[in-house]
Amino acid sequence: MKWRGRRGSGNVEDRRGMGAAGAGGVGVVGMLAILAVGYFFGIDISPIVRELDQGQPAQDAPLSERDQEYGEFVSVVLADTEEVWAPVLPEQAGIEYADPRLVLFRGAVQSACGGASAAMGPFYCPGDQRVYLDTDFFDMMAQRMGAEGDFAAAYVIAHEVGHHVQNLTGVLSEVNGLRARMAEADANALSVLTELQADCYAGIWARHAQDRFGSLEEGDLEEAMRAAAAVGDDVIQSNAGRTPVPDSFTHGSAAQRQEWLMRGFRSGQMDQCDTFAEAGL
């Protein structure tokens, strides 16, 4: 991915060197309760990274050169999403785009949605319209999930910004209202549709970023496809030593996530990302 030397966003809050931002003692069990709201990027990945917290560096440790490079990368990708969605959302949905903020943290963080641990992955909080990301997640993707590369990491950010787009269009609030009145299996199915639409929106970003900036290099789409597969519910459950149970899926299978990512990329159109209509809702 071509990103070096390009404009960065002014909407990044870097809290990685601010000392303990703590999750307030929420722990993994509490994190699962937060996950149930459906805002997080992936389901509980703690079986894959259960030793992550033990090896987490002190939160007030100075940023390494790699940390700083990740910060620059995230800033450029966020700027790209701003430049893409600022015209696309009003043109295709008649809604003005409001930039989200992106919070970089280390280990644990507090948000308007509660406390969160890095072991739970990146997430979007509609309460404060912020994306939260521990950049160590990128290393974990590469080392333990087989999803390395700049564009794989960019897909993660674009997916979370996709949730912000859903927040602006009213989808998130509508979904949460419906899920609260549904049986668990039905609520999970609705969550899957929400996540797949965010994947499709990530594909829209990739298409327009390529058209406008020429960002993609050979192999970039394959990186994003590997990342989409790596965070499929079936893959995560299998890697955790469990038999995949479709009724428990909250984010979609690997094949579904890849399909909707590419649907957004090929079309570049929001009306091609209506997962809910396709499911008969």
Instruction: Check pLDDT > 50 for residue 16.
Output: yes
Q: How far, in Å, CA of 231 to CA of 178, rounded? A: 25
Please enumerate in sequence order all residues whose Cβ is within 8 A of that of 58, keeping only pairs 6 or more positions apart, or say none: none
32, with CB counted inside 10 A (0-12, 13-18, 19+), is middle
pTM reported for the whole predicted model: 0.85
Give the three-class secondary structure for 111. Answer: strand
Residues 63-69: what's their mean pLDDT? 87
**Residue 261: closest CA among 122, 147, 155:** 155
In the predicted model, what is the mean pLDDT of the chain?
Answer: 84
Give the three-class secondary structure for 201. Answer: helix
* 237: region left, alpha or beta (phi > 0 left; psi from -120 to 50 alpha): alpha
Q: 49 pLDDT band (50/70/90 cuts)?
A: very low
Please enumerate in sequence order all residues whose Cβ is within 8 A of that of 84, keeping only pairs 6 or more positions apart, or say none: 204, 205, 208, 209, 212
Q: Pick the residue with more confidence: 38 or 16?
A: 16
Residue where the block lists tokens 């050169």: 65
Residue 270, token pair as written in the block: 């929001």
Q: Which pLDDT tens digit goes with each residue over 94-143? A: 999 999 999 999 888 889 988 877 777 899 999 999 999 998 888 888 88
Residue where the block lists tokens 């994190």: 31
Amino acid 84: pLDDT: 97
Output helix, strand, coil percentages for the chain, rounded to the nearest 5.
55, 10, 40
Q: Which pLDDT tens digit goes with each residue over 222-263? A: 999 988 998 898 998 898 889 999 999 999 999 999 999 999
- Cα three-residue angle 270-205-277, rounded to 5 degrees: 25
**Is the Cβ–Cβ distance between 43 and 245 less than 8 Å?**
no
Residues 79-93: what's their mean pLDDT? 98
Amino acid 35: pLDDT: 37
Residue where the block lists tokens 């910060």: 71
**Is the Cβ–Cβ distance between 78 and 104 less than 8 Å?**
no
Range list of β-strands (E), 11-89: 12-14
Q: Indicate the DSSP class of residue 250.
A: S
Distance set, CA 44 to CA 142, 157, 261 (Å): 18, 18, 21
Helix axes 150-169, 136-144, angle to 10 degrees: 120
Q: How many residues does the chain have?
A: 281
